[in-house]
C-alpha cells in the first residue's frame, strides 16, 4: 500500500472541497482548481473532521503509484488555493535586470537583445527590485515550470555566479585559472 496515499489531507479554514464523480474541485481565498482522479481511486470528504481521504483498491502495481501521486496532487491543490505558491529568483551580473510590462516579462541578461517571455494565465510576477523576480500562483506545477523557464535563459555559472538562480539555491564556486610564472 502507498504510505503517502493513506495520509488524510486536512482542509484549512476558508477552503471548500467538492467531489463529483472522478473530479475533485477546491475553492479558496487564492482561487479555484480542479483535477480528475483515476476510476479506481475513491475520494471521500469528512466535513466534521475537515479531512479529505483518497482510498484505492489495489489491482495492479500502477494503482499503488497512482494512489500516492494523486493524493499529492490533491494536497498541492488544496494548499495552493489556501496559501498559494511562490518561487524567488535572483539575477546577478552587471547590467542584468528584469521588468514586467503587461503580460510580458522582459529580461536583460547580457545577450544582444532583451529576452521576452509571455506570462501564462494563473501566474503573477512581482519584481521588488530589478535583480529579483518573484513568481506566484495557485498551481504548484505551473509556478515551478515558469520559474525553471526563466532560470533556463542563463543559469548562474560557478566562476563569477553571473546569471539567474533560485534565491535558496547554493552554487559551489570554482576556482578560476591561475597563471604561474616560472623563474629560470
Q: Does residue 23 carry a pLDDT above 90?
A: yes
- Residues of the chain with pLDDT > 70, as a percent, come to 97
User: Does the pLDDT at position 182 exceed 70?
Assistant: no
Which pLDDT does position 27 carry in this prediction?
95
- The topology (CATH level 3) of 3-82 is Outer Surface Protein A; domain 3 (3.90.930)
Please write the tens of the pLDDT for every residue from 106-148: 999 999 999 999 999 999 999 999 999 999 999 999 999 999 9
- Domain boundaries along the sequence of the chain: 3-82, 85-166
Question: 69: how many CB neighbours lie within 10 A of its CB?
Answer: 17
- Topology agreement, domain 3-82 and domain 85-166: yes
Q: State the DSSP code for 22.
A: T
CA separation for the pair 95, 90 (Å, rounded): 13
pLDDT tens sequence across 48-90: 889 999 998 888 888 888 899 999 999 999 999 999 999 999 9
- Cα(166)–Cα(179) distance, rounded to whole angstroms? 33
Bigger pLDDT: 11 vs 3:
11
Distance in angstroms (rounded) separating the CA atoms of residues 18 and 11: 11
| pLDDT of amino acid 57 | 84
Question: CA dist 149 to 6, 71, 118, Å?
Answer: 34, 26, 11
Give CATH superfamily name and number for 85-166.
Ribosomal protein L6 (3.90.930.12)
Amino acid at each position: 500500500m502507498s504510505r503517502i496515499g493513506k495520509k488524510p489531507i486536512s482542509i484549512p479554514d476558508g477552503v471548500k472541497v467538492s467531489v463529483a464523480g472522478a473530479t475533485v474541485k477546491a475553492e479558496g481565498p487564492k482561487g479555484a482548481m480542479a483535477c480528475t482522479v483515476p476510476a479506481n481511486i475513491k475520494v471521500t470528504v469528512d466535513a466534521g473532521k475537515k479531512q479529505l481521504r483518497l482510498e484505492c483498491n489495489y489491482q495492479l502495481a500502477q494503482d499503488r503509484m497512482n494512489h500516492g501521486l494523486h493524493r499529492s496532487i490533491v494536497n498541492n491543490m488544496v494548499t495552493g488555493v489556501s496559501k498559494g505558491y511562490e518561487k524567488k529568483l535572483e539575477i546577478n551580473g552587471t547590467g542584468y535586470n528584469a521588468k514586467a510590462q503587461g503580460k510580458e516579462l522582459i529580461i536583460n541578461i547580457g545577450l544582444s537583445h532583451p529576452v521576452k517571455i509571455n506570462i501564462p494565465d494563473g501566474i503573477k510576477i512581482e519584481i521588488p527590485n530589478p535583480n529579483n523576480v518573484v513568481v506566484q500562483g495557485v498551481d504548484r506545477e505551473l509556478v515551478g515550470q515558469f520559474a525553471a523557464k526563466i532560470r533556463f535563459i542563463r543559469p548562474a555559472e560557478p566562476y563569477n555566479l553571473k546569471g539567474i538562480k533560485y534565491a535558496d539555491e547554493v552554487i559551489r564556486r570554482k576556482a578560476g585559472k591561475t597563471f604561474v610564472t616560472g623563474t629560470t
